[in-house]
Amino acid sequence: MTKLVRRRTIIFIEDFRKVSKMPNIDSSGSKCSTLNELDRLSELAPLFPQINVECMLTSLLLVRTSHDLYNQSASLLTERGISQGKMRILTSLLLRKKPLLPSELAKSAGVTRSTMTGLINGLEKDGLIRRGAHEDRRMTAIHLTEEGETLLMTTLPEYARVVTSVMSQLTEEERGMLQQLLYKLRTGIELNE
What is the per-residue pLDDT for 60?
80
What is the per-residue pLDDT for 7?
52
Q: Sign of the CA dihedral 89, 92, 94, 99? A: negative
Indicate whether this model's pTM tops 0.75. no
Low-confidence stretches of the chain (pLDDT beneath 50): 1, 5, 12, 15-31
DSSP label at residue 135: T
What is the per-residue pLDDT for 178?
92
What is the per-residue pLDDT for 27?
46
Distance CA 147, CA 152 (A): 9
The tens digit of pLDDT for each residue in 110-159 reads 888 888 888 899 999 999 999 887 666 667 888 999 999 999 999 999 98
What is the per-residue pLDDT for 2?
52
Distance CA 175, CA 36 (A): 28
Pair 6, 56: CB distance under 8 Å: no
Q: Please choose, from the candidates 127, 122, 68, 129, the residue with its C-alpha nearest in 3D space to the C-alpha of residue 101.
A: 129
